Amino acid sequence: ISTTDRIFTVHQRRAITLRDRECLIPGCHVPATWCEIHHVTEHAHGGPTHTDNGVALCWHHHRTLDTSGWEIRMRHGTPHVRGPAWWDPARRWRTPQP
């Protein structure tokens, strides 16, 4: 599901919240229905407003993502997250398990 607008549509948001179920950051259990939708590749840098480029992040993690050391990528429509070195010294990519 894709759009040229920056804001995710109701249908895109529903698809992302059903997929993610809660904030993508491990250990954060804020329900996805309470989360904001984050562009994995920023819209300002050409990232599409598409379900394969959006993930659910709680307000706190959405605001601190760029400074906290957490990284997010998408692989074939599945989000992966890599924690900062203090959380995972090996910095492994993980598929969140709700």
pLDDT of the chain along its 98 residues, tens only?
A: 555 678 999 999 999 999 999 999 999 999 999 999 999 998 888 889 999 999 999 999 999 999 999 999 999 999 999 999 999 999 999 998 75
At residue 96, the pLDDT reads: 80
> By the 8 A CB rule, do 76 and 93 touch?
no
Q: Are 51 and 45 in contact, with CB atoms under 8 Å apart?
A: no
Q: Which tokens sit at 10?
A: 């109701």
Q: What is the dihedral of CA 4, 7, 12, 18, to 10 degrees?
A: 150
> Distance between CA 93 and CA 49 in Å, rounded?
23
Q: Which amino acid is at 41?
A: T
pLDDT of residue 91: 97
